[in-house]
Structure 1
Amino acid sequence: MTISLEDARPEELNLLAAGPGPARIAGVGTAVTPDSYTQQELLDLLAITDPKIRSVFLNSAITRRHLTLPPPDAHGNRVPELQGELLAKHTRLAVDMGLRALRSSLDSAGATLADVDYLCCVTTTGFLTPGLSALIIREAGIDPGCHRVDVVGMGCNAGLNALNGTVAWARSNPGRLAVMVCAEACSAAYAFDATMRTAVVNSLFGDGAAAVALVAGDGDAAPGPRVLSFASHIITDAIGAMRYDWDGDQNRFSFYLDPDIPYVVGAHAERVVDRLLAGAGLPRSAIRHWLVHSGGKKVIDAVRVNLGLTRHDVRHTTGVLADYGNLSSCSFLFSYERLLRERVAEPGDYGVMMTMGPGSTIETALVQW
């Protein structure tokens, strides 16, 4: 008899968890770029004097972010980089951060580079061919026969989209190690102008990478939670509310965030979460741990209010936002790492991971320790 994770009752989920079906998160690792700045330091370095733009920076609930700014010219001004320079920056930063996060996740899992059988790399802040996975495999010296895939351009929600596929590979290959790496060099996607569109983006994002190592069919050898199921929802009426497209005036790609996107995402959060939990026969009150994408103060508040969560429930999300800003696809894994460091997750606890991004899309995953 085959049991679907989407349709399984709680007792069936437990049965699946006891067998080789669900993949377990065996390790996690994160990395950032060397230089970090407070919001006030950025305003000073970029010589931003417009009161409205300064207010956007200073009221973002962000204390500090890791960024790689363009070098100053002879007069101390930061000169905007050409698109080619930004792509080169993306390659350099994404490979460096991604490799460090990968190694950290393997250390956490008690594994080595030689154990990696599958590598999925996620990024939105630059386009590479060959992809980030090939570059990391070469730089790390991973077996060139390693299975790999690149998820490019999906945005902040992409970490859970890619995790879904990585979990599926691990379940199909019990005992073999699969790793997902999210590397976002947001410094390589910055534009400099006086518009509010640019100001909102430039006040929010930071550089970061995160990786998770997964394995299925290993019994209790791996200490992390089992990934039980996923649920997704695309808000088609708001498909253009978050996008990364070509800016003809700047002659480069640039982000756009609709001012109403926090409320749009918040209004649809219940639908996808309730569908995720209904598939497992769980009430929302059964979820002890919430790991939500650090999309911005208004996004976090909208999701929290619509799901009836407390500020304590989203403490890791708001903490990551304060210390790193929006790290795009890897944000939720920074929150997951913080939860692990607290050592509060107990066997049997359920958790929900949630990411939001272009589409507009909400992705969720149900995990259990």
Structure 2
Amino acid sequence: MSVKIKCVSKQLPKYSRTTQEILPFLDAWLLGQEPRFIRKVKKIFEGAAVDKRYSIMDPIEVFTKTSFEERNDIYIREVIDLGEKVIEKALLKANWKPQDLDYIITVSCTGIMIPSVDAYLINKLQLRQDIVRLPVTEMGCAAGISGIIYAKNFLQANPGKRAAVIAIESPTATFQLDDFSMANIVSAAIFGDGAACVLLSSHDDDEGPKILAEDMYHFYDNIHMMGFKLTNSGLQMVLDIEVPETISTHFPAIIHPFLAKNNLNIEAIDYLIFHPGGKKIVQTVEDLFSPLGKNIDETKEVLRLYGNMSSATVLYVLERIMDKKPEKGFIGLMLSFGPGFSAQRVLLEF
């Protein structure tokens, strides 16, 4: 019995702006700051390798001072809408009915809601009353792959079942208007909003790439590297400048033992399905793999088109790879990083 990924779908929010269209908003936000600092901030946005980003809010709302409560209310309203649309899109793609789902995992770290979004989706789509639900709320960018790992373990233990992993994120809802730190500025430059849904199955009749293996890798003594601080004005980004270097240092330990455990080496990997954390992280990963003749072109393209959408982003990369219809037997390696600090890995056979 194997667990397969049936399909992936994405859903984008209604608002979007190119980087060039965002620059005038920066002028208003940075009014009164030193000219040299303003030039530096604009250079960060222009050099972030993000051409366009989507948002649950109009840019005017993003750059308007609001309370945490007001912003979180928008987050709740919009993630429910995005969640409903993306799961409906995925079910249609798979030709499944809502009642076919046995397990629902929802992933988000950019707002706070209790009950979690899966409870709303159960009602809106009339999912089965005995569906097993699991909200994953505090794993950041790594949580999309984490959700796949949890779904795989459930399905492997329960043959003939089906699961949905839904990642919905709004990093723009965490933008801090009064915070001129590099962490807030860099996150604003690289992040965007979006949702994705992965449908998985242990049903004999379902086809799709097979999950061969999965693993987590936890960095010791790097809790400070990434996350959110809960403040009176909302979720304040924590993003250490050393993240790319730390990833680079640990990379051999993250990749090679995992592949060796599955009797593979990096040369055997046909598709690198990596989370585009940001331009520097992408460059770090590319520098490590290009000498081996590997590329992460789809990762770079997702960053360019949408920005980093936290947990949902690697699922956009996966969708692009699956849309290419890889040859039977090709191997893919999924990888993402998140707070903790940790790395999540999944090995696929197409």
Quick check: TM above 0.5? yes
TM-fit CA distance, 1:61: 0.4
Equivalences for residues 1-369 of structure 1 within 5 A: 20=1, 22-46=2-26, 47-48=28-29, 50-69=38-57, 72=60, 78-193=63-178, 194-218=180-204, 221-247=205-231, 251-308=233-290, 313-343=295-325, 345-369=326-350
Deviation digits for residues 104-132 of structure 1 (CA, Å, limit 9, x no counterpart): 22222221212111100010001211111
TM-fit CA distance, 1:222: 2.8
Please give the alpha-carbon distance, in whole angstroms, between the structure 2 residues aligned to 1:38 and 1:85: 25
Contact 1:90–1:188, Cα closer than 8 Å, also in 2: yes
Q: State the identity as a percent.
A: 28
Please give the alpha-carbon distance, in whole angstroms, between the structure 2 residues aligned to 1:311 and 1:152: 36
Residue identity matched to 1:213: L
TM-fit CA distance, 1:246: 2.4
Deviation digits for residues 319-356 of structure 1 (CA, Å, limit 9, x no counterpart): 0000000010011110111112222x111111100001
Deviation digits for residues 266-292 of structure 1 (CA, Å, limit 9, x no counterpart): 221221211221111111100001100
Gaps of 5+ in 2: 31-37
Please give the alpha-carbon distance, in whole angstroms, between the structure 2 residues aligned to 1:72 and 1:322: 22
- The 3-state SS of whatever aligns with 1:141 is coil
The structure-2 alpha-carbon separation of the partners of 1:71 and 1:357, relative to structure 1 and needing over 3 Å to count, comes to closer
The structure-2 alpha-carbon separation of the partners of 1:65 and 1:311, relative to structure 1 and needing over 3 Å to count, comes to farther
TM-fit CA distance, 1:314: 0.6
TM-fit CA distance, 1:252: 2.2
Please give the alpha-carbon distance, in whole angstroms, between the structure 2 residues aligned to 1:309 and 1:334: 25
Residue identity matched to 2:19: Q
Please give the alpha-carbon distance, in whole angstroms, between the structure 2 residues aligned to 1:196 and 1:51: 13
TM-fit CA distance, 1:155: 0.4
The structure-2 alpha-carbon separation of the partners of 1:308 and 1:269, relative to structure 1 and needing over 3 Å to count, comes to farther
Please give the alpha-carbon distance, in whole angstroms, between the structure 2 residues aligned to 1:87 and 1:309: 45
TM-fit CA distance, 1:247: 3.7
TM-fit CA distance, 1:137: 1.1
The structure-2 alpha-carbon separation of the partners of 1:34 and 1:263, relative to structure 1 and needing over 3 Å to count, comes to same
Please give the alpha-carbon distance, in whole angstroms, between the structure 1 residues aligned to 2:269 and 2:289: 12
TM-fit CA distance, 1:300: 1.1
Please give the alpha-carbon distance, in whole angstroms, between the structure 2 residues aligned to 1:96 and 1:58: 31
TM-score by length of 1: 0.88
- The 3-state SS of whatever aligns with 2:344 is strand
Deviation digits for residues 115-152 of structure 1 (CA, Å, limit 9, x no counterpart): 11110001000121111111111122212221111000
Contact 1:231–1:272, Cα closer than 8 Å, also in 2: no
Contact 2:162–2:203, Cα closer than 8 Å, also in 1: no
- The 3-state SS of whatever aligns with 2:259 is helix
The structure-2 alpha-carbon separation of the partners of 1:302 and 1:279, relative to structure 1 and needing over 3 Å to count, comes to same
Gaps of 5+ in 1: 1-19
- Please say which of residues 38-47 and 151-160 is displaced more in the overlay: 38-47
1:9 matched residue in structure 2: none
Residue identity matched to 2:343: I
TM-score by length of 2: 0.92
TM-fit CA distance, 1:260: 1.4
Residue identity matched to 2:274: V
TM-fit CA distance, 1:312: 6.3
TM-fit CA distance, 1:310: 6.8
- Please say which of residues 40-49 and 351-360 is displaced more in the overlay: 40-49
TM-fit CA distance, 1:62: 0.4
Q: Which has the higher helix share?
A: 2
